[in-house]
Structure 1
Amino acid sequence: MDSFDSLSVSEKAEATELQRLIAVEQQKAQFQAQVHNFTDICWDKCVDSPGSKLDYRTETCLVSCVERFIDTTLAITNRFTQMVQKGAH
């Protein structure tokens, strides 16, 4: 017998809510990790020598770099979603 089955209705609701909150926090952590990854890679690619301000070329490079990562991530995510949906049918 599963221990979840022995819980009361309110305990099951609390456990379900806790699982939802954990999933949300995991998504936030994954997002933060991705932002740090973008920052590291794009910084190394675009910033020659840091100064008090970003010049136009560096700023443009950083924006383009992050946009490429976002576009790629979205394309991979969408493709994966399509594959999962096809497999479910």
Structure 2
Amino acid sequence: MEGFGSDFSSGDSGNKVDSGALMEQIKLQVAMANTHAMLQKMTEKCFKKCIGKPGTSLDSSEQKCIAMCMDRYMDAWNTISRTYSSRLQKERAHM
């Protein structure tokens, strides 16, 4: 068990994993997954709210409702994201 995790702690550049690059890749994948989930949830919520009877096209009131719903959802998402990031930065500063 002595070799467990040694690829991450060594500074050698041979076959060792660059933990900084790995963390950035993980952060990117998490951000992409969160964005996908947000878009899926937004589509589901706005469709349920705005579309009474699905058809071949949207009438003007449905288009307006969808646009406004998506705008509100994105505003809320951005507010939550900014607040979360701010709290994380404050917690890191206190460490």
Q: TM-score range by the shorter chain?
A: 0.7 to 0.9
1:37 aligns to what? Answer: 41
2:87 to 80, 83, 88: 83
Please report the TM-score for the alignment, with normalisation by the length of structure 1: 0.78
Figure out how many residues of one structure are paired with residues of the other and give that number. 88
Q: Percent identity?
A: 27
Q: Could you tell me how far apart the structure 1 residues matched to 2:10 and 2:63 are? A: 57
Report whether the alignment pairs 1:12 with 2:28. no
Report whether the alignment pairs 1:66 with 2:70. yes
SS of the residue aligned with 1:12? coil
Give the root-mean-square deviation of aligned CA atoms: 2.2
Gaps of 5+ in 1: none
**Cα-to-partner distance string for 1:30-59 (whole Å, 9 max, x where unaligned):** 111110000110000000011111111001
The one-letter code matched in structure 2 to 1:35 is L
Larger helix share, 1 or 2: 1
Distance 1:46 1:79, change over 3 A: same
Distance 1:53 1:31, change over 3 A: same
Please report the TM-score for the alignment, with normalisation by the length of structure 2: 0.74
2:50 to 46, 49, 55: 46
Tell me how far 1:80 sits from its aligned partner. 2.6
